[in-house]
Amino acid sequence: MSEKEKDKKSQDLTRDTKNAEGKTMTTNQGVKVNDTNNSLKAGERGATLLEDFILREKITHFDHERIPERIVHARGSGAHGYFELYESMDKYTKAPIFTDTSRKTPVFVRFSTVAGSKGSADLARDVRGFAVKFYTEEGIFDLVGNNMPVFFIQDSMKFPDLIHAVKPEPDREIPQAASAHDTFYDFVSLTTETLHNHIWVMSDRAIPRSLRMMEGFGIHTFRLVNVEGKSHFVKFHWKPLLGTHSVTWDEAVKIHGADSDFHRRDLWDAIDAGHFPEWELGLQIIPEEDEHKFEFDILDPTKLIPEEMVPVQRIGKMTLNRNPDNFFAETEQVAFHPGHIVPGIDFSNDPLLQGRLFSYTDTQLSRLGSPNFHELPINRPVNETHNNQRDAHMRMTINKGKTAYFPNSIGGGCPHLAKMAEGGFTPYEERIDGRKTRARSESFNDHYSQPALFYRSLTDWEKDHVADAYTFEIGKCTYDHIKERMLYIINQIDEDLAAKVAEGLGMEIPSKVEGPVNQAIGADADVEKHQPPKKKNYLDKSEALSLTHLKSDSIATRQIGFLVGNGFDGESMGKMKKALEDKGAMVQLLAPHGGTVKCDQGKSHKVDAALLTTESVLFDAIYIPGGTKSLEALNKAPKTAKFINETLKHCKAIALDKEVMGKIENTYLEKFKEDAAVLIDKAPAKFIEQIAAHRNWSRQKEAMSIPV
Ligand code: HDE
8-44 pLDDT, tens digit each? 999 999 999 999 999 999 999 999 999 999 999 999 9
- Does the pLDDT value for residue 367 go beyond 50? yes
The arithmetic mean of pLDDT across residues 340-368, rounded, is: 97
Using one digit for the tens of pLDDT, what is the confidence trace for 34-80? 999 999 999 999 999 999 999 999 999 999 999 999 999 999 999 99
Of the listed ranges 321-335, 512-526, 589-603, 627-641, the one predicted with least confidence: 512-526
The arithmetic mean of pLDDT across residues 368-397, rounded, is: 97
Sign of the alpha-carbon dihedral angle for 367, 371, 377, 383: positive
- Does the pLDDT value for residue 548 go beyond 90? yes
The amino acid present at 651, given as its one-letter code, is C
Which residues are CB-neighbours of 485 under 8 A, at least 6 positions away? 189, 190, 513, 514, 515, 517
Ligand 1 contacts CB of residue 151 (under 6 A): yes
Which residues are CB-neighbours of 368 under 8 A, at least 6 positions away? 67, 333, 335, 376
Say what the pLDDT of residue 684 is.
Answer: 96
Helix (H) or strand (E) holding 496: helix 495-505
Rounded CA separation 240/549 (Å)? 11
Say what the pLDDT of residue 518 is.
Answer: 53
Say what the pLDDT of residue 354 is.
Answer: 97
The amino acid present at 114, given as its one-letter code, is V
Tell me the CATH number of domain 553-703, given options 2.30.40.10, 3.40.50.880, 3.40.50.300, 2.60.120.620.
3.40.50.880
Rounded CA separation 128/111 (Å)? 7
Give yes or no: 73 in active site. yes
CATH class of 76-175+205-352: mainly beta
CATH topology for the 451-548 domain: Hemocyanin, N-terminal domain (1.20.1370)
- Does the pLDDT value for residue 529 go beyond 90? no
Determine the atom of ligand 1 nearest the C-alpha atom of 110. Answer: 11
User: 373 with 176: CB under 8 angstroms?
Assistant: no
Confidence of residue 347 (pLDDT cuts 50, 70, 90): very high
| Residue boundaries of the structural domains of the chain | 76-175+205-352, 451-548, 553-703
- Does the pLDDT value for residue 449 go beyond 60? yes
Coil, strand or helix: which one is 562?
Answer: strand
- Axis-axis angle for helices 159-166, 182-190 (nearest 10): 150
- Report the 10 Å Cβ neighbour count for 84: 15
Q: Are strands 278-287 and 313-322 parallel, antiparallel or unpaired?
A: antiparallel
Using one digit for the tens of pLDDT, what is the confidence trace for 237-284? 999 999 999 999 999 999 999 999 999 999 999 999 999 999 999 999
Helix/strand number for the chain, H first, E second: 17, 18
Give yes or no: 416 in active site. no
Using one digit for the tens of pLDDT, what is the confidence trace for 453-481? 999 999 999 999 999 999 999 999 999 99
Q: What is the 380 CA–ligand 1 centroid distance (Å)?
A: 20
Please provide the average confidence, as pLDDT, over all residues in the chain: 95
Coil, strand or helix: which one is 514?
Answer: coil
| Residue nearest atom 14 in ligand 1 by C-alpha distance | 356
Burial letters 267-279, b for 16+ CB under 10 A, else e? bbebbeeebbbbb
Of the listed ranges 248-257, 278-287, 317-326, 441-450, the one predicted with least confidence: 441-450
Say what the pLDDT of residue 522 is.
Answer: 46
User: 562 with 575: CB under 8 angstroms?
Assistant: no
Rounded CA separation 170/148 (Å)? 27
Q: What is the 303 CA–ligand 1 centroid distance (Å)?
A: 18
Using one digit for the tens of pLDDT, what is the confidence trace for 159-186? 999 999 999 999 999 999 999 999 999 9
| Residue nearest atom 23 in ligand 1 by C-alpha distance | 356
The arithmetic mean of pLDDT across residues 282-288, rounded, is: 98
Per cent of the chain over pLDDT 90 is: 94
The DSSP bridge partners found for residue 622 are: 561, 654
| Residue nearest atom 18 in ligand 1 by C-alpha distance | 360
Smallest CA-to-CA distance from 657 within 628, 699, 689 is with 628
**pTM (2 decimals)?**
0.96
Determine the atom of ligand 1 nearest the C-alpha atom of 151. Answer: 42
Which residues are CB-neighbours of 125 under 8 A, at least 6 positions away? 178, 179, 180, 201, 206, 207, 249, 252, 469, 473
Q: What is the 605 CA–ligand 1 centroid distance (Å)?
A: 48
Coil, strand or helix: which one is 19?
Answer: coil
Which residues are CB-neighbours of 495 under 8 A, at least 6 positions away? none
The DSSP bridge partners found for residue 317 are: 84, 280
User: To test ligand 1's pocket by mutation, which of 360, 361, 368, 378 has the most ligand atoms within 8 angstroms of CB?
Assistant: 360
The amino acid present at 292, given as its one-letter code, is H
Same topology for domains 76-175+205-352 and 553-703, yes or no?
Answer: no
Coil, strand or helix: which one is 223?
Answer: strand
Using one digit for the tens of pLDDT, what is the confidence trace for 177-228? 999 999 999 999 999 999 999 999 999 999 999 999 999 999 999 999 999 9
User: To test ligand 1's pocket by mutation, which of 114, 144, 378, 379 has the most ligand atoms within 8 angstroms of CB?
Assistant: 144
Helix (H) or strand (E) holding 4: none
- Does the pLDDT value for residue 291 go beyond 80? yes
User: 151 with 159: CB under 8 angstroms?
Assistant: no
Say what the pLDDT of residue 528 is.
Answer: 52
